[in-house]
Structures are given as C-alpha cells and as structure tokens.
Chains A and B, each alone.
Chain A
C-alpha cells in the first residue's frame, strides 16, 4: 500500500516540526517553500520560548498559570481547550528542542536558564542568546536534512504555492506550485495539505516581518473557500528600529533582562540622555502599571508609547517619533551573554552602541494573531483529544493550518515568547491527527486519482500567470502599489482605529486592488522571474487587507490589540471612595454588556472580489471565566474588587 503523502506549505518552525513528526510516523512528507527552509522568517524570533519549568513551579507557577496568562493576555478571545493543551505541552516541547541541540543559555549549574517576558510574573522563558528563533529553526532544519538523506522528506525550495486542489466533494487532494527558477507550474497530489506559511506583515508594507511574509499562501486558501478567523487582530510590537526597508525588532527580552522604557520629562530635552537625572525621566510604563512595569503585554505598551509621543508630545526627538529603551544600566557581561544578538542589530543599523547609549525605538507591525480558522476536538479534562483528525483542520477536509497562519492560540493579543511554542506544538500535535484522518478516509489515495482534476487546476494557474506576463506596458508598478497599500493599512488599521478612517481606507484599498490588476510586469522572462510572482502575491494581499479592515470596522469595542478610542473604557476619575466605587460598578456593567456582544470570534468568508462576509462564533471560555484585563493599572484595583465580588455572589 502506498504511504500516506502529506504536503506542507512553508518550512518555518511549524512546518518543519510537522515534517519531522510525520516522517517519524512513516508518512511520505514534502515541504514547499519560497526559499531554503533554513532562511524562513522564524529565524527572526529573538527573545525566547515559554514553558513552565522546575524552578518557576517551586515559585508557584504551573501549566495552568501559563494557560491563564495566555488567555488573559489574549483578552479571552481564544477557545480555551487548544490553549490549555499548548501550555501543558510547552515544557515537553522545550525539552525536545533541548535534546535536538538548541544552544539554550545555561545557569552556572548547567540547567537551562530562564528570563521573564511580558504578560507574566514568572521567569518562564527559555532562550538562546537573543536569537532563539534562529537556533530553534536550525535544530529543526538539521532534523529535516537527516530525514531528507534517508529519503523520507522531499523539499521543494524556491517553489511558490499557488493554491489547493479540491475534488468534487470539496476535499483537499493536493496543491499546485510554481518553480521560481524554471517557472514551471505543476500539481502535487497529497492525501493531506498543511499550510504553515506564517503571517501577513507585508500587507502593512514595512513591518518586523521578513520579505516572504506576504500572506499570499493563506489568501489563496481563503479564496479557495477556507474561513479566516479574527482578521482584525494584528499585533504592533512596542519596540522596533525604524528603517527604509524594514522595521527591525528589538526583542521584549531587552526589558525581560531589566531594560527600561522612558522619555525625558522635558519635551525633546537636548541633553545627552545619560546626563538626565532619574527624577527628570518619565518611566511611564512603570508609573502607570506598577505590577507589570515594562513587561505589560505588547498592545498596552504600544498604546502607551503612542500616547506619550503623540498626545503628550514627549517623543525623544522632534520630527521623529521615538522613546528610549535603556539597557545601559545592566552589567556588560549579562548584555553580551544574553542579548548580544539584538544589540548587534541595533549597532549595525543605527551605528550606536546600546551598551553605552539608550536605544531609540518605536512600535511596528509584528504579528498576525488572526488567520485561517481551524477546528479542535476537546476532551473531558478541557484539553485536546490528541490524534483526532479535527485538530488544526480548516473547514476544508484534508486542509490543515498551523503556526502563525492560523488563528487559534493568541486571541486578541499574543504574549511574547508564546509564538515559538505555539508553532512547534501545533506542528507536533497535528501530525497524529493527520495520520488518522488519512487512515480513516476510505476513498482513493490522491496519487491514484485520475490526472484530470490536477491538470485542470494547473491549467487555471498557468492561464493566470500567462495573463500577468502579457499585460500591456505603461500600467502602474506593482512595487509602488504595494508601498501605497502598506501606507494606507498602517495609517488606518494599526494602533488606534477609527471607523471613518477605516471606511475611507477600504475605498482606497479597493482602488489599489484595481490598480494592481492593471500593473505592468517589467520582467517577462521565463527564468527566475521575481516580478510576476510578486505581482501575483500583491493581488492576493487585497482579500487579506479587506478582511482586516472589515473585521476591524465591524468590531465596535476594544479588545487586546484592537483599539477604538470611542469604545474605550477609561480609568476611574473619581477620588472619593463611594463615588469611585459607583464608577467602578458602571465600568463593570459596561464590561459585561460588551462581552455579551463581542466576546466572539470573527469569521470571514471570501467573496468574488475579495470582499469578506463576516459571521461570528462563540468562544469556548469554559475553563477560565473572562475578567477585566487591567494588569494592575494604577487605580484598577477597585474595578477588580467589584468584578470579583460579583463573580462570588453568582456562585
């Protein structure tokens, strides 16, 4: 009997974890990637990977608390069973990566060292310098190579995924791809297809994402009928270095190791920052969030930086928005041993040594919380039924999604160092489910199907590609249209969102989509053509951009990274205790009413021109009841008190 064949789109942490686990389970595995898998965007992850460990456990930590931090950080917009399972697997995921040779930092006694990350009070993050993602990718890349030598994994590098192939019953039977050197287009029959193609930062033009993160693969699956969950949730990371080609991340680990964010109290103080005395510095995160300080979740830190720079006019420099991220007070030895990767990036691109001068940073688009909708099968204990074919499956049978390109683990905001563990976990966890999916299917194997189904799909993609090459010259340039799309999206749909601005952005995006359809392709060569595949990816960015905008316009509330000032619940203004209490009662009333209306996942279905139709699905919050997300906001204690009392009176 032929072996089960699985095609994986994308060779980052998620795709490679699935590949090695499926190879171990004796599947015939292929990976398709637009670039050598060792160069995937996962290498950009810096700070670390979360998981409870023996040390934090003795300080009161537990898997349950990791789970709780993740859903609280995500503002309760996640179905809880998969998140619970993730938290319980996390320590084992890190153990496995340790065995695979990841060079995790060590304590003097030789244990894995841990640092603290945002949204938690425990030192739960294992790390390899400040290049943890790179180190994890390399360990998996090495294992993939090992299976490749043994003939169990085939890599198709420099291949672009063009779309899934569905049979008459709507079941996924493989995909079509294009060789980006020879430009050959062909079909790949597969019994199951896994999309592990990462986020869609390029929709925002410049971001912390790599060039390959254009969202095209996800868009092609979405356009083929897969649903897209929570598109409006985009994480803007608080600390990045602005650049002409990219906004370069400076990891949260800088703060996890003791880095502090501040601005001079005097606007645009011209003094050398190191000569500004402590009492003339405004450590605004520490003052406003005494409990979590610089390690509040990213959405909160980002909004506070925006507020300080834009509303309060305290940007460090006039004419350029930035605040200080200061590690100069930390010991040189610690910086070199634990953070050198990011400090070198700053030094190489900014020409200043962050060991000696505070870094100037500003928020940047960073992570796609939303993504392809995927299913799960829960067990009675609240976790997942491992091995169930439903786990990580999209609404298209046989089509799975894992890693950043799906929507299920991070809700309205992802906690730092949770992405790496979610990628590897979902890759390992999906594998036995896929094996049982294929085994339980009684129809013909995809490789035994008549070729007509695949030929037809190939013809469709070829015709579209040829139409790109024969477009008349003199039309718009696709790279310029992309730049404009990025500017429109960044302005309207990032940190602070207003419905009127997003509505006009939607109109503009529709216009740009028309322009993109008429872009001229300056390169008509049939060899290693990069312009035509870029123009094709640009076309596919529009359905994603439209889903992000419409999802955000529809959601009239504030949740995690999605913030509309007109729906924001402010701090308590009253100072007199009884009045303050009454105000808090009203706050909690509005919080509860809002949750009844909006504690729901957005589900987008793609229309003919990429316009989304939206429906909503209840969120499974059966394990941890939703509560106000305050992070010890100064003055938030009364709100918490009122909320707790109400919960108790109900039980």
Chain B
C-alpha cells in the first residue's frame, strides 16, 4: 500500500555496510537522502551516486550494487534490507520508513563472497544449474515441429518453477546453505576458475532453487527422458538430503515459487529412484 506517512520526511537515513575489496575490512557509511514520493531502494542508491557524500560530509565513492530490470524479473538487485533478504527494486521507501523511520539498513548477502559493497559473486548458483543439467536436451535447433502437447495443469505447475530468476534469496535464508569464499584469482583463467568452482559446488549444498529446477525439467515431457540423471545429481553429495526442512526458502522467495513442494516431490522421486537402483529394477 502507499501508506500515508505520518509526516512526510524531508530526508531519510540510509546505512550501508561497505567493503572495498574481497579480504578487506567492512565498514558502515551513513547517507542522508532527500525524500521524494514513490521511491525504492534503487532510487535512494541512485540519489547517493548523484551526491556521494556521507551524512558526516565526507566525499566517498558511490555505493557499488547490481541492478538491471527494476521490476523484479531479472534477479540482479538482491540484498539484505533492514535484516531481510529481498530485491531492492520492490523495497519501497515509504513502507520501509513506516516500519522503521530511523534508518534503512543495507547489507550485502552473507552467503556469497562480497565483490564490493552490496555486490556479491553468485557464480555458485549458476554452477549448480550445470550440475543438475537444467535444460531440455533437444536433438537440434532445426525445424522439427512443435513440442509435445501439455495440459493446462502441467503448464501452470511448470510455469511456477520457471519464474525462478536465480536471485539467491532462498540460499541466503537457508540454514544448510553455507558461505563459501570462492573468487576468481588474478592469476587464474576463466576456465581454471570454473573448474575449481564446479569441484567445490559438487560437494556443497545446491539449495532450494536447484531442486525446484530439477522438478521443472523432470515435469517437462522431453526433460523427463533424462530424469534419472537429474535425480542422480540431486541425490549425490550436496543434494536434497542436506535439506533440513527449515522452510525458510519458500518464505523469502520474491516470486512465491512453491519450493517446499518441489523439495517434497523431488525427495519422493529421489527415494524411488534410489530404491530402483538398489534393487536394480
């Protein structure tokens, strides 16, 4: 709601937890931002960039953060805002100030290595999509007619999972998803870094987003032909068995993706898959 503010403030305070580089100390900067109607955290950060002085009058570098679409479909601008992980674009200033008129506090996500300020490295998230083979393995891109017919129910179910924008909120909120400080080293090539990343991702928990994608591709009529490979991946080290059923993922997902449903469905399929393998059915 566009809640009427008790009194419209002339300025408001934004506190940002900053870090210049990986490995360097973190520190807080406080900014006084001029209030305008219809602002969100993005426009507050933009205003800081237009006038990069702290509340104490110190000239600083503008805050570094990621954003792109500004309408919550690209997944770029995830950060921890007043203690809650979410997208900065849909974090409206009026509402934040109604909840806490003192200040708006911005921190980077804690489960990913900080690149700088509010920008973190989420390569690991995409690496787990490689691990579970999150794609439909079509034969070719030549014209082979349409895909298989699907029921409305199937489409609706798949669409929910397919809205996952790899923002990382579910991972930030998950008690079993632990931070891994893995950044590309200057002497490392892109390929070497990717290899090291993949090896690390093999062993660590993939998180709810990836389990949702396993279900998405195993529902797909063509994707289901390779369901066994995905179930192998999701039951290997770092797979679904690590989930502690805290159910935080579903609560923080900005797209309301039924992640716990996915975990339950993939869990059942994985059990059957393991039994089949065990008894060689």
Contacts and interface: CB of A to CB of B under 8 A. Distances in A.
B135 A146 contact: yes
Interface stretch (B8-16, B38-46, B171-179, B239-247): B38-46
Interface stretch (B66-74, B103-111, B200-208, B261-269): B66-74
Contact of B146 (A99, A128, A146, A530): A99
A644 to B, nearest CB: 38
A131 interface: yes
Contacts of B158: 101, 103
Interface in A504-533: 522-525, 527-528, 530-531
B17 interface: no
A345 B72 contact: yes
B155 interface: yes
Interface string B1-28: 1110000000000000000110000000
Contact of B156 (A100, A107, A337, A351): A337
Contacts of B150: 106, 110
B147 A98 contact: yes
B70 A211 contact: yes
A20 B139 CA distance: 12
A239 interface: no
Given A39-B68, A138-B162, A523-B61, A44 B73 contact: yes
Interface stretch (A415-423, A476-484, A619-627): A476-484
Given A24-B141, A128-B159, A149-B130, A243 B38 contact: yes
Interface string B216-250: 01001011000000000000000000000000000
B64 interface: yes
Interface stretch (A221-229, A244-252, A293-301, A381-389): A244-252
Interface residues of A, number: 78
A210 B222 contact: no
A181 interface: yes
Interface residues of B, number: 77
B2 A20 contact: no
Interface string B187-225: 000110000000000000000000000000100101100
Contacts of B146: 94-95, 98-99, 112
B74 A350 contact: no
Interface of A: 20-21, 24, 35-36, 38-41, 43-44, 92, 94-96, 98-101, 103-112, 128-129, 131, 134-135, 138-139, 142-143, 145-146, 148-149, 154, 156, 181-182, 210-212, 242-246, 248-249, 337, 341, 345, 348-352, 428, 473, 477, 479-480, 483, 522-525, 527-528, 530-531
Interface in B46-67: 46, 49-52, 59-62, 64, 66-67
Contacts of B122: 36
A134 B159 contact: no
Nearest to B254: A348
A106 B151 contact: yes
Contact of A483 (B50, B135, B163): B50
B21 A527 contact: yes
Most buried by B among A41, A345, A349: A349
Given A104-B155, A135-B162, A523 B62 contact: yes
A70 to B, nearest CB: 21
Contacts of A143: 135, 138
A43 B162 contact: no
Given A21-B141, A38-B74, A106-B150, 10 more contacts: A95-B145, A99-B144, A128-B162, A146-B137, A244-B37, A245-B42, A349-B38, A522-B62, A527-B20, A528-B119
Top 3 A-B pairs, shortest CB-CB distance? A110-B149, A523-B61, A142-B135
B64 A530 contact: yes
Contact of B61 (A210, A483, A522): A522
B151 to A, nearest CB: 6
16 contacts: A39-B68, A41-B68, A43-B73, A100-B147, A101-B147, A101-B222, A101-B223, A106-B155, A108-B152, A131-B73, A142-B135, A145-B134, A245-B42, A337-B156, A351-B3, A480-B50
B138 A99 contact: yes
B136 A43 contact: no
B116 interface: yes
A39 B156 contact: no
Given A98-B146, A181-B115, A349 B136 contact: no
